[in-house]
Amino acid sequence: MDDQQFEINEPAVVADEIDGMAVIINLETGAYYSGSGCSASAWAALVAGAPTTELATALSVPHPVVAAFAAHLLGEGLVRPRSGATQPWSVAPAHGPLTLDRFDDLEDLLLLDPVHDVTEQGWPHREG
Amino acid sequence: MTTRLAALRGELEDQLGGLGRPSAVRSFSVAGVGVEVRVYGGLLADALLPAFDACPPLGGVEVPSVIHAWDHSATGTRMPAGVSALVRPGHNPRYVDGCNHLLIGEGVCALVTEGVQPTTAFFVVDDASTLPWFHRGSPLSLTLASVLGHRGRPFVHAACAGFPDRGGLLLAGRGGSGKSTTALRCLLAGWEYVGDDYVVLHPDDMSAHALYSTAKLAPLDLAADASLVPRAATLLPDPAHTDKTIANLWPAYRAQMPQSLPIRALVTPHVGSGTQTRWQRATAGRGLLALAPSTLIQLASTSAAQLPPLSRVARSVPSYDLELGSEPGGVVAALGELLEHAAS
């Protein structure tokens, strides 16, 4: 994956960083995630728009590792390619693998169906 | 453009116009927000309203948000065709067109129109006699979550119990984690009880407010420990013969049912394998991980704005892990120690 920039996939995904832990919730799938240390730092920086190459340098990890982490986030639907301006970002010194724990235990709660936005083409069709 | 949801609202308003006078009206205040529930159909009123018995009546001059609820079987109406076409078996779809939010469950639909004060909502069911237990134990939960959340009073999927002088423990976790049974054990041991499944958060003073006066009793818990039945409470009728017993704690336990308690700790219970109940400090992140996903997913959140209030709880009070042991007497004692620790 070449140098890329991302943003959080709102409104389907909400997240917060607290006490060194990133808590990420996909409201469409019911899956939620947590990551600590290096993963929490990388998450915060990536959704602020940090280019993957610069983030790799800042974290002192090889770029392919950061790129694979970003690709995983993209595959889980947690981020999307960035369309807006980059926000200020920085990373605190942190250690550990770039991984997120995924939890699926709430998926059966509501058998969630994605939110369908109403368009002029009819209903229910997702807005493109 | 008139959206499909706006058209659906028009259909529901037309139905409402033909219903005449409501069978029952209940006006109450929750965390300072006024709510009025107008129910058309006696059986539906019996199903929905007892759970609000402990809510204080409306005070002041605030115009309440209004929820109109009716039962097609009793009123001779039918679910609008626009809803029937959107039922997805095995799913609870949500549809949003900006200000209108539609939630569809089995035989139930709720339409909340936000952005206009006071908020107006519709809750319609096919047949009140077949309403599942959770609509009796925590009635109108998705509708009220939307109405109250819009007024800055987020619903929280958590139990709360404590004392007026020491504050309360917010017990967070998914269904089956033990929060309801734990809250009930606290009540029966003399603690004050705010709720066993949902409470309303007042972010200004970080307090948990009561909404439902009910307690849910799972058959497995009752089989294991018959003393869990709050003997003085009224058991709500369950025509649908679903798998949980709902007890209305009001007015039998009114002396132990405050309108609110300040939150002193965020506790994540889980059922352990040993006999003893143990607790330990946890990070704020673990507390948020127990509180936020369960709340936002169960309540079908569609807004990023609903996470920050939950984060503020996790940042403001200490978090704890609670491993529930099989020895019932140890649970409340351990929680008492935990509350002391949190207050120290």
The per-residue DSSP string of B32-96 comes to TEEEEEEEESHHHHHHHSGGGTTSPPP-TTPPPEEEEEEEHHHHT----HHHHTT--TT-B-EEE
A118: pLDDT strictly greater than 60: no
Minimum mean pLDDT among A62-66, A107-111, A113-117: which range?
A113-117
B27: pLDDT strictly greater than 50: yes
Question: How large a percentage of chain A has pLDDT more than 70?
Answer: 82
Q: Give B-chain residues touching A23 at CB under 8 angstroms.
A: 285, 288-289, 292-293
Q: Which pLDDT score is estimated for A25? A: 94
ipTM: 0.86
Tens of pLDDT, residues B245-274 = 888 999 999 999 999 999 999 999 998 989
CB contact residues (below 8 A), chain A span 3-42, against chain B? 10-11, 14-16, 18-23, 25, 27, 30, 32, 34, 36
Minimum mean pLDDT among B74-88, B122-136, B167-181, B227-241: which range?
B227-241
Q: Give B-chain residues touching A16 at CB under 8 angstroms.
A: 288, 292, 307-308, 311
Q: Which pLDDT score is estimated for B311? A: 96
Q: Which pLDDT score is estimated for A120? A: 36
Q: What's the whole-number average pLDDT of chain B?
A: 89
Q: Which pLDDT score is estimated for B94? A: 77
Question: How large a percentage of chain B has pLDDT more than 70?
Answer: 92
Q: Where are the beta strands (DSSP E) in chain B?
A: 24-30, 33-40, 65-71, 94-96, 100-105, 108-113, 120-125, 155-163, 167-172, 192-195, 198-202, 207-209, 214-217, 234-235, 245-248, 260-271, 278-282, 319-324
Tens of pLDDT, residues A23-74 = 999 988 889 999 999 999 999 999 999 999 999 999 999 999 999 999 999 9
Question: How large a percentage of chain A has pLDDT more than 90?
Answer: 62
Partner-chain contact B302 A115, CB within 8 Å:
yes
Q: Which pLDDT score is estimated for A102? A: 96
